[in-house]
């Protein structure tokens, strides 16, 4: 009986703390954009640069409602994950150190308390007409690589982090993603990864 009471009290506390501080009368949003790697070569040389570009015009279209919204002062960002295809099943598959990075528009950086061997943080730059990203990725070492830009599952305005939050879907728009570099070795990627990944070989 005492156990039941404790459980009920705890559940009530968590429900109240998580849901009921203040009514949120704003729905959640679903935004979608694309990202592209160029030039779209399946192989490059050490020292060559791949450009990662993405543009989100303002106002942004909410795919849940079909309406546009000015979603400003938000964390328009994601991560860039780079894995060595031949080491994909191993603990040391992270290949961030095989590349140099430079931001022309937006930012790319390593964050504390993240896996910096495998992941870089990328953030869009906000300007009057929209949000833009333009990152140089310079190959330092030969190998075969798979690059992933996952969706941002937690996009929020910095003054309203708990209300009217959004998911930012970032689809790769390259016409040829060279996914065979991965799939010929390890088999088929998931539908999600097919839509978010790009492969390149560095000689």
Partner 1 sequence: MHTLYPCILYLLKETIYHEMSHASHYTQVGTAWYTQFVNAELAEIAAHPGANDPLNPYGPGNDANAPIIALGEAWAYHMGHFLADQRYGVNASCHIEQPGHTFCPNGTNHPHIDVLENFNPNLETDPFRWIPKGLMEDMMDNTPNETIVNDQVTGFTIGTLFNALQSDVSTVQQYRARIKSQNPVLPGGTTTTQLDNLFASYLY
Residues of span 51-110 touching partner 1 by CB under 8 A: 64, 75, 77-79, 81, 83, 88-91, 93
User: Judged by CB under 8 A, which stretch of 37-45, 95-103, 130-138, 162-170 contacts partner 1?
Assistant: 162-170
Name every residue whose Cβ is closer than 8 Å to that of residue 56 and which is 6 or more positions away in sequence: 31, 33, 76, 124, 130, 131, 132
Q: For residue 35, give the nearest of 168, 189, 127 by alpha carbon.
A: 168
Tell me the CA end-to-end span of the chain in Å, nearest whole number.
Answer: 69
- Binding-residue total with partner 1 (CB under 8 A): 64
Q: How far is the CB of 28 from partner 1 (least distance, A)?
A: 5
**Segment contacting partner 1 by CB under 8 A, of 16-24, 38-46, 128-136, 170-178:** 16-24
Rounded-to-integer distance, Cα 67 and Cα 62, Å: 6
Evaluate whether 35 touches 133 at the Cβ level (below 8 Å).
yes
- Provide the 10 A C-beta neighbour count for residue 56: 21
Would you count residue 1 as binding partner 1 (CB under 8 A)?
Answer: no
The residue within the footprint of partner 1, chosen from 137, 197, 200, 202 (CB under 8 A), is 197
Task: Give residues with Cβ within 8 angstroms of 45, minimum separation 6.
Answer: 139, 202, 203
Binding interface with partner 1 (CB under 8 A): 2-3, 6-7, 10-11, 13-15, 17-19, 21-22, 28-30, 64, 75, 77-79, 81, 83, 88-91, 93, 111, 113-115, 118-119, 121, 146, 148, 150-156, 159-163, 165-167, 182, 186-193, 196-197
């Amino acid at each position: 009986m005492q156990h039941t009471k404790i459980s009920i009290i705890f559940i009530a506390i968590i429900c109240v703390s998580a849901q009921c501080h203040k009514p949120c009368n704003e729905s959640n949003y679903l935004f979608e954009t694309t990202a592209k790697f160029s030039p779209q070569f399946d192989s490059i040389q050490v020292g060559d640069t791949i450009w990662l570009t993405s543009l989100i015009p303002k106002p942004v279209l909410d795919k849940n409602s079909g309406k546009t919204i000015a979603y400003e002062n938000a964390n328009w960002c994601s991560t860039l994950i780079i894995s060595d295809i031949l080491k994909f099943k191993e603990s040391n598959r992270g290949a961030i150190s095989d590349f140099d990075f430079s931001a022309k528009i937006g930012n790319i950086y390593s964050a504390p308390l993240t896996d910096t061997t495998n992941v870089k943080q990328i953030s869009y730059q906000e300007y009057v007409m929209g949000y833009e990203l333009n990152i140089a990725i310079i190959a330092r070492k030969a190998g075969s690589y798979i690059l992933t830009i996952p969706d941002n599952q937690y996009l929020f305005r910095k003054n309203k982090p708990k209300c009217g939050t959004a998911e930012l879907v970032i689809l790769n728009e390259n016409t040829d993603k060279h996914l065979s570099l991965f799939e010929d070795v390890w088999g088929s990627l998931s539908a999600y990864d097919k839509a978010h990944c790009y492969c390149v070989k560095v000689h």
